[in-house]
Structure 1
Amino acid sequence: MGKLAITYQHIADILSFEVSNFQLEETLKNPAFNWDPLVVEGSKHLVLPAIYCRLKARNLLHLLPTDLKNYLEELTTINRNRNKALLSQVRAISKLLNEHHIEHVFLKGAALLASGCYQDNAERMVGDIDILVQETQVHEAFNLLNSNGYNNTSGFDYEVKHFRHLDRLISKHELAAIEIHSQLLDKKHKSLIDLKSVLKSKSIIDGVAIPTTYYLSLHQIFNWQLIDKGHYYKFPNFKILYDVIKVNSDKDEALVSDLMRFKYGKSFLEIAKFYFKEFSHIQSNSYMIYISLSHKTLMSCKPIRVFVRKGKYALNFLLKRLHLLLTNTSYTRHIFKKVFN
């Protein structure tokens, strides 16, 4: 394996619940072990606090260099305090929405924190607070929050049609911005998740509505694979992989079966299987073997990986902008203004 793949494997082994402490300790205590790339990639994947918490839970913090241990401990403490404030913010938003009978459910990191699935809430790094609201009530929810302190918005410079959430709502008194979703995926793929079922099957934990683990993981996986182009680039996301493992969705037969119906589901599972023992029980088909070989090739040769990634990025950017120019007059006017100004 190439250097990046080895680093990814080290991250996966630390986060995994099926890699033995003895095996991990033998790897990490090797004098030749280099922590620098692990910290760089762990930071990119937003899992440094999770890495610290897992090493702590495994009683392996003594293997960290002192400076790195102190840095990760401080970072984790900051994230723990931030998440404590975020949970208070989530509960306040939930109370407000419930008082006005707005059907909703929290998503992604906010839902995971509220679910109590983490031994230490410092493990999860959270950006915005994402909320799915019943489609007929999204503007009511937006206006309600807007009139209750979230009176700054952040959106696009042009009109975006059929977007899955409204403009971000920001309060100068709160840590996180809010994104109110009417859809979970883009227009092309929105039928992959039944919104009525997500809302109907929700559970309430400490006053906060969260999806079932099936829908929580399904949304996270499809969002990464389709919206964030994980399937397109054939790359893992360790934050999401760890989330899936934490709620035991890797053992959810219904979820795995449904993911196996789609190429982007198969590629997620195969790349997850490439790094995590938790997914080793999943039987690979010919397409998944192809994904594994493609990913292995990319990870084995940096020049090929960089060339393919930059080429795919450029192609995706050009096609996306061309599509907007041809189908969105608001975007076209925006571009002309920028050019002539």
Structure 2
Amino acid sequence: MAEFRSPYDFIVQCLAASSGHTTEDLRHDIHDSRLDWEAIIQTANAEMVLPALCARIQDLGLTPDLPADISEFFLGVQELNRERNQQIISETIRIARLLNEIGIEPVVLKGAAYLLAGVYKDLSARFIGDLDLLLPASMLTKAVEVLANDGYVAGEVNFGHHYFPLRRQQEVWVELHHSLGGGTSRSILPAPEMLKNSISRDFDGARLRVPSPNDLVIHHVLHAQIHQAHSEGIWPTLRTVYDLVCLQNRFERAIDWTSIAQQFRVNRREGALAAHLLLCEEVLGMKKPIPIRKTVLFQLRWQHIKMLRRFPAVRRMDPLYLFSRFVITRARRFGNLLRIAAGRKYLLRTPFRASFYLHRMHELLRIFRAATAPPHASERSGAASEDVNQ
């Protein structure tokens, strides 16, 4: 009898970029009575690829082989996510029309950009948490005023690289970005450069801009390896890895990997790109598009990542991980506060608010729970995750 595959392995084989696992092998797995569909659904949901799994099984022509109830469930997932994504795209176009009136063509980022750029062939295949738009920093205040006049209200305060999240009634949260991150991210991919390189397109009479293939890839790596270095940078969700696989499949030769590597190299973050490419190769079998320079420093970094992936509980005692998780992220947030007048005013007022100390107590409790939490619920070998990526 063939070796039984875990739910995580089954999902990986369905999504894999390159493997010896054929459609017939997957069909054999589907008919294996030991396959736990409830665990597969739970794992795919935790990895944020349930819609992608449904679409992939359909693309492979395996839907007729599914148990009747699972087939019906998967079709329902696709229908609901397609409807949600259509609503998000409609909302994006609506916002673009409002911003076009004051001379702004917003750049769509992350998941919505992948849909508009055709990275995912099936509209239902990508789960999207919120809508991210990049604007010129000088136009941010005007843009917020326009959206506020149309009924958008602000959520919790954020002094990072985007404005307060905005939402109109019960629609999707909208984040207006004025940069693509702090620190090194600003040098690797400056917002003005992405704005200049983006491609203006017409969507139902609204002008939207889609990032260039290179910038889509760079932003993807920045988000995983620098913004979320303590989570996605070690234990990337399958959605994160699959995004890069789909980007590579969609644009192929249009992506200048040599130029991308150079941008990371001159900013001394070549290791971040190399680590991400190796993780994508390890998880989904994506072939490395460029050679990896395995310096002594990078080899130490890679061995550290492999150790944490194999023994996730070690993170609770690992000084490098704890420093990245609880010190660097807070220092970066503090730096963002100091950078702008509203942030400095917020810092001066904060110590005199009773809610500040109550929040600190809740934060300490959250940190304690995170440190003692079991590994990620998925079936992946030795992986753990504490953050949900957008």
- State yes or no: 1:272 paired with 2:276: no
Distance 1:319 1:105, change over 3 A: closer
Q: 1:334 to 1:41 in 2, by over 3 A?
A: farther
Alignment-mate amino acid for residue 201 of structure 1 = N
Q: Distance in 1 between matches of 2:300 and 2:329?
A: 27
Equivalent in the alignment of 2:193: 197
Q: How many Å apart are 1:215 and its aligned residue?
A: 0.9
Work out whether 1:241 is the aligned partner of 2:241.
Answer: yes
Give yes or no for the alignment of 1:44 onto 2:41.
Answer: no
Aligned residue pairs total: 328
User: Following TM superposition, by how much is the alpha carbon of 1:16 offset from its aligned partner in structure 2, in angstroms?
Assistant: 3.0
Inter-partner Cα distance in structure 2 for 1:41 and 1:335: 41
Q: How much is the aligned-residue C-alpha RMSD, in angstroms? A: 3.3
Q: Counterpart in 2 of 1:100?
A: 102
Paired residues of 1:154 and 1:168 also in contact (CA < 8 A)? yes
CA deviation profile, 1:43-65 (whole Å, cap 9, x unmatched): 12211011000000101124433
Measure how far apart 1:92 and its partner are.
1.1
Q: How far apart, in 2, do the equivalents of 1:35 and 1:256 lie?
A: 40
CA contact (8 A) 2:11 2:53 kept: yes
TM-score (norm 1): 0.82
Q: Aligned residue for 1:147?
A: 149
Which residue in the other structure is 1:208 paired with?
208
Partner of 2:383: none
The equivalent residue for 2:161 is: 164
Task: Confirm or deny: 8 A CA contact 2:106 2:133 kept in the other structure.
Answer: yes
How far residue 233 of structure 1 moved from its aligned partner, in angstroms, is: 5.3
**Given the alignment of the two structures, is residue 305 of structure 1 paired with residue 324 of structure 2, yes or no?**
no
Match of 2:228 in 1: 228
What letter corresponds to residue 316 of structure 1 in structure 2? R
Post-superposition Cα deviations, 1:219-253, rounded to whole Å, max 9, x if no partner, equal: 12211222223567511232232222223267632
Equivalent-residue separation in structure 2 for 1:232 and 1:115 (angstroms): 23
Counterpart check, 1:257 vs 2:261? yes
Q: CA deviation at 1:310?
A: 7.9
Corresponding residue for 1:338?
357
Q: Which amino acid aligns with 1:278?
A: M
Percent same amino acid among aligned pairs? 21
TM-score (norm 2): 0.73
> Which residue of 154, 178, 181 maps to 2:174?
178
Distance 1:295 1:46, change over 3 A: same
Structure 1 residue runs without a partner (length 5+):
none
User: Mind listing any 5+ residue stretches in structure 2 that lack a counterpart?
Assistant: 339-346, 362-390
- Report the CA distance between 1:26 and its aligned residue: 4.3
User: Which of 126, 129, 144 is residue 127 of structure 1 equivalent to?
Assistant: 129
Question: What is the one-letter code of the residue matched to 1:211?
Answer: P
* 8 Å Cα contact 2:113-2:211 kept in structure 1: yes
> How far did residue 281 of structure 1 move?
5.1
Select between 22-31 and 218-227 the one with higher mean Cα deviation: 22-31
1:143-185, Cα deviation, whole Å (9 max, x unpaired): 11111121x21123xxx65x2001011100x521111101111
Residue 286 of structure 2 aligns to a residue whose secondary structure is helix
Return closer, same or farther for 1:58/1:120 CA change in 2, 3 Å cut-off: same
